[in-house]
Structure 1
Amino acid sequence: MAADGPTAGLPPRDAARLECLTDPAVRDLAWLLFSPDLLRAQPPAGALAQPFESVAEASAMVDWLIAQNAHPDALHQHIAVAHLTRLGRYAECLLAWCLRYGPGARLVAANVALRRGGLTLGECDFLVQTQSRRRLHWELAVKCYLHAGDDRAQLADYVGPNLQDRFDVKLRRLLDHQLPLSARAEFAALGHPGPWDAQMFVKGWLFYRDGGRPPEPSVIDPAHARGWWTTRADWPAFAAAQGDAWAVLPRLQWLSRRHRSGDRLAAGMFDIAALGTQLAQHSGPTMVAAFAAEPEGNGWRETSRGFVVPDDWPAQALAFARH
């Protein structure tokens, strides 16, 4: 099984069962729960969230996800009423559903704002209680960063596609500001008695130029989900080695690998030239994916994903990383 699939830490039978999920939202939730973390633990403050306290609990979650896959309408309605446009909010919506109705840890409160003197100091994403009655504070982040550096192993070289976010800055804010919120004196007055063990729940994808493997900072989990990025000028030659069935991935499809049904036209597949024409109309980086036809001929499965960026983006990204 691929490391970027929703299979980390599962027995092979359960991993295979998750691969059979067909509903996109349920697959995204499975990915959120079981995919590798982007980061290693950062003691003492940066503990990693552990969604399950045992293999049995994880297997029970697989059973529940399969049941959700068979009857996903309630989950779809939960997502629809939230009117989501941001990837992070979509992930929060999925995790909240799981904590309310799934067989594992239970939701105590979500998006708990901490204020002092009329000013908002911050917001705790999730307060949860495990089956063994541990009380946890989870900070959820779902990120897609492109490696913009060369051969130095620096977290600052991982930048958001729109150059408004950087991995080192995000980690520093998690450790210094977000995770300590539930330990502040003001938090005790909110009616959620602790103590709370703060943990970071950081998932996502890291993308490397033309699929290369530069040295990685030790803070990054080597099993992380990975993709590639390339420039528009390099795109046709790079894409030819990946396949000839392509699709643009909208932002809310950036979690799990995608499956699409129908013939080539119904599934929204483009050949390299047609997708190149479409990319020329975009002003910034665009995530795309290569697909292969399922052996049974009943659909398409994603085989590769990455960003196609404007030709001047690499220089801008490197300057942003080194700023």
Structure 2
Amino acid sequence: MPTQQTDLQAPTASFQQQFHRRWSSLRDPHVRALAWLLDAPDLLDAHAPRWNGRIATLGVLSEMDITWLQALDKNPRELYLLINAQPSARLGRYAEKLLTFYLQQTGHLLAHNVQVRNGPNETIGEFDFLVHDEARSGAVHWEFATKFYLLESHRKQMQADAFVGPNLADSLGAKMDKIMQQQLMLSAHPAAAQYLPQPVTRAQALVKGWLFYAETTEAASVPAALGISTQHCRGFWCELSALEAGDGDRYLVLPRLEWLAPARAVASRTLSGAQLREAVQLLFSETLAPVMIAVCDVEGDVALERRRGFLVPDDWRGKAAQRVQHAVVQI
């Protein structure tokens, strides 16, 4: 995938082009989100030495899966029933429901959200997903995460903690440490066996998401030692004050539950550069959280995402640097 540039007037990002072309027949937003989840590049490289074989991958979609998604788009009623059961505004929970639906429909799922308790008052942990292994003689434990991280700065010795969440409460390094050192060890706990439908033969992390870069060179120079896939989905980030809107560019502000797949929306929902600034300034007055936007191409009455990025408050960069420095000191 060509390195995505951070200039808002840059050439079209290849992943969005490929997605729109491959899934041009899909109209339902939830089915499009599911198609992204199943077909998007992994965030982490399953073959990187850092992970010791503990990264799961869904692999290439089969023709049967593609046909199934196309049929689902025409009649998504069962998917909506699952999504609307116990509705949540949490993106992770939404992505989890999408994956649950796929695994149920395709016969891969043994169980999900299985809590492990040590006595009536102590919860040890929870298995996100238990799926059949290849021989169907045991269970594979998947810890599932859909994450969005911004690279705070480019350093000669870049660490995973330099990729921070929009709200600065999380980092790629901290998340993967927790998964690898704690969550994937759950099946080894003596209390776990009684909750398992089959013995766990393998424990892995399945991680999807997008990474966002402030400078063009950074996306190309992420050290291989970090274990990040070279094909990962990527975008830009910049301060609102640094936004350079091109003449005629159209934008979407993406609500959290629309962060997964490249956006497809009615053209009337798009904003001009001036309208975008006004909308984002209003959001910043209510919360200081970065705002996800899509830069769109308009074709008739349809807007298709060309690129995406986070617009951050003017003080976000300094706060992110402090967050990363604190993480480095803790190491």
SS of match in other structure, 1:142: strand
CA–CA distance in 2 between the matches of 1:256 and 1:280?
25
2:295 to 290, 296, 302: 290
SS of match in other structure, 1:31: helix
Gaps of 5+ in 1: 9-14
1:225 and 2:239 are equivalent in the alignment: no
| Structure 1 counterpart of 2:29 | 24
CA–CA distance in 2 between the matches of 1:159 and 1:146?
5
For the structure 1 residues 165 and 281, does the alpha-carbon distance in structure 2 shift closer, same or farther, using more than 3 Å as the test?
A: same
Cα displacement (A) at 1:6 = 10
Deviations 1:139-172 (A, max 9, x none): 1000000000223322110000111101100010
Higher RCO, 1 vs 2 (CA within 8 Å, ≥6 residues apart) = 2
Asked if the contact 2:165–2:171 (Cα under 8 Å) also holds between the matched residues in 1, the reply is yes
1:213 and 2:218 are equivalent in the alignment: yes
SS of match in other structure, 1:303: strand
| Structure 2 counterpart of 1:146 | 150
State how many pairs are aligned: 303
Cα displacement (A) at 1:191 = 4.2
Asked if the contact 2:42–2:57 (Cα under 8 Å) also holds between the matched residues in 1, the reply is no
After TM superposition, the structure 1 stretch with the greater mean CA deviation from structure 2, 16-25 or 200-209, is 16-25
Deviations 1:212-251 (A, max 9, x none): 535313211111000000101101x2x328x610110000
Asked if the contact 1:3–1:224 (Cα under 8 Å) also holds between the matched residues in 2, the reply is no
CA–CA distance in 1 between the matches of 2:22 and 2:275?
36
SS of match in other structure, 1:257: coil
> 1:215-294, aligned counterparts within 5 Å?
215-218=221-224, 219-235=227-243, 237=244, 239-240=245-246, 244-261=249-266, 264-265=267-268, 268-283=269-284, 284=288, 285-294=290-299
Asked if the contact 1:4–1:223 (Cα under 8 Å) also holds between the matched residues in 2, the reply is no
> 1:31-46, aligned counterparts within 5 Å?
31-41=36-46, 46=53
AA at the equivalent of 2:231: A
Q: Which runs of 4+ in 1 moved over 3 A?
A: 1-8, 15-19, 42-46
CA–CA distance in 1 between the matches of 2:254 and 2:216?
18
AA at the equivalent of 2:246: A
Percent of paired sites with the same residue: 38
Deviations 1:279-319 (A, max 9, x none): 1112321111111012xx24111001001101111011011
Could you state the TM-score of these two structures normalised by the residue count of structure 2?
A: 0.84
1:85 and 2:89 are equivalent in the alignment: yes
> 1:63-74, aligned counterparts within 5 Å?
63-74=67-78
Cα displacement (A) at 1:5 = 5.5
2:203 to 181, 188, 198: 198
| Structure 1 counterpart of 2:10 | none
2:190 to 177, 185, 192: 185
Cα displacement (A) at 1:210 = 5.0
Asked if the contact 1:259–1:300 (Cα under 8 Å) also holds between the matched residues in 2, the reply is yes
> 1:300-315, aligned counterparts within 5 Å?
300-315=303-318
CA–CA distance in 1 between the matches of 2:22 and 2:273?
33
CA–CA distance in 2 between the matches of 1:75 and 1:287?
26
AA at the equivalent of 1:245: R
Asked if the contact 1:182–1:196 (Cα under 8 Å) also holds between the matched residues in 2, the reply is no
| Structure 1 counterpart of 2:115 | 113
CA–CA distance in 1 between the matches of 2:301 and 2:17?
22
CA–CA distance in 1 between the matches of 2:53 and 2:134?
22
* Root-mean-square deviation over aligned CA pairs: 2.3
1:49 and 2:31 are equivalent in the alignment: no
SS of match in other structure, 2:241: coil
Asked if the contact 1:6–1:34 (Cα under 8 Å) also holds between the matched residues in 2, the reply is no
AA at the equivalent of 2:112: A
